[in-house]
A = this chain, B = another copy of it.
Amino acid sequence: MPTDFSDLTHRLPAWVDACRVHTAQGSVATYIPELAHAPRHALGITLHHRSGKSVSAGDSDMRFTLQSISKVFTLLLALMDRGEQAVFEKVGMEPTGDVFNSMLKLELVQPGKPFNPLINAGAIVISSLIRGDTPEHKSQRILGFIRDLAGDDSAAFNEDVYRSEAATANRNRSLAYFLKDNKVLDADVEPTLDVYFRQCAIEVTCAQVARMGLVLASDGVDPATGRELFPKRFARIAKSFMVTCGMYNASGEFAIQVGIPAKSGVAGGILALVPGELGIGIISPALNDKGNSTAGVHLLRQLSEQYDWSMF
């Protein structure tokens, strides 16, 4: 049964108000110093319907960096750049159960390749597969892809966040050198990380993320122009990973409680979608202990239950 979008439009502000209280249980990420300034009690959402309608509520105008949400889109771009076989020679397809920046399985499970492209180790390898002559070129191609999906050109690199992350990302450097040692990462470490830090620092709004989600919900077709931005097969791959690994180590719980493809980022953003129907962008910087936006997850659960969105 399709979502009653006018009912949703009408009721959304009240739900946002009700869910905002959950921000009090979360904490803003501090490990990237620049992120620590985010407003702890913010909550914003935009939903974009395939009909072209959209609705926003709360702090939906707030700008935030994609962080791990970008991993979905670099995966799509790498698949288009290199093909499915080349990509999955370098990263696996499995959830790990370890924390997002863990190195355990790289050491313990031969041949030491990352379990999937949505953990940091996997996303770093994916960044190395983006085509381009220089890190700048690769970064611009990623930004261009994001802008195409967002349907506008205002997404841009937040230089402060980029520099803050580049200056403090010792764990990611450690991961990258480990991958280099395992011969999973062929490219040089610092240029690869430069691409990775820049993709994380792309600044967007809820509306842009919702629009990107809608393209995924439409199997890669831009709903406004009818143009294929990526093949349906790659949309399927991306949505599968979002369900099995998109919400860090709460992905299994999210599948049960909400049941739609989603990917969260440490800035508090969530990309989600209802296949064939809707793209969703959420921002709420206060994170729960699994690293997902606490109010954002509550809001999605409420909406999923109300409109029976679960795929399961």
Residues of A within 8 A of B (CB): 92-98, 102-105, 107-108, 115-116, 170-171, 173-178, 180-181, 189, 236-237, 239-241, 243-245, 249-253, 255-256, 259, 261, 275, 310-312
Partner of A95, one of B92, B97, B237: B97
In Å, the complex CA distance between A116 and B178 comes to: 21
Main secondary structure of the interface of A (DSSP, over half): helix
Residues of chain B contacted by A177 (CB below 8 angstroms): 170-171, 173-174, 177
Q: How far is the CB of A291 from chain B (nearest CB, A)?
A: 13
Residues of chain B contacted by A175 (CB below 8 angstroms): 174
In Å, the complex CA distance between A242 and B95 comes to: 13
Q: Are A244 and B95 in contact (CB under 8 A)?
A: yes
Chain B's closest residue to A115 (CB) is B97
Q: Are B245 and A259 in contact (CB under 8 A)?
A: no
Q: Are A103 and B103 in contact (CB under 8 A)?
A: yes
Partner of A93, one of B93, B103, B243, B253: B253
Q: How far is the CB of A232 from chain B (nearest CB, A)?
A: 10
Looking at A173, A251, A256, A311, the one whose CB has the most chain B CB atoms below 10 A away is: A256
Partner of A180, one of B102, B104, B170, B261: B170
Q: Are B93 and A97 in contact (CB under 8 A)?
A: no
Q: How far is the CB of A297 from chain B (nearest CB, A)?
A: 13
Q: Are B178 and A94 in contact (CB under 8 A)?
A: no
Residues of chain B contacted by A92 (CB below 8 angstroms): 252-253
A170-B178 contact, Cβ under 8 Å, with A104-B107, A116-B252, A241-B252:
yes
A94-B250 contact, Cβ under 8 Å, with A171-B178, A243-B312, A312-B240:
yes
Can you name 10 A-B residue pairings with CB atoms under 8 Å? A94-B251, A95-B244, A96-B97, A170-B181, A171-B181, A173-B177, A174-B178, A177-B177, A240-B312, A311-B311
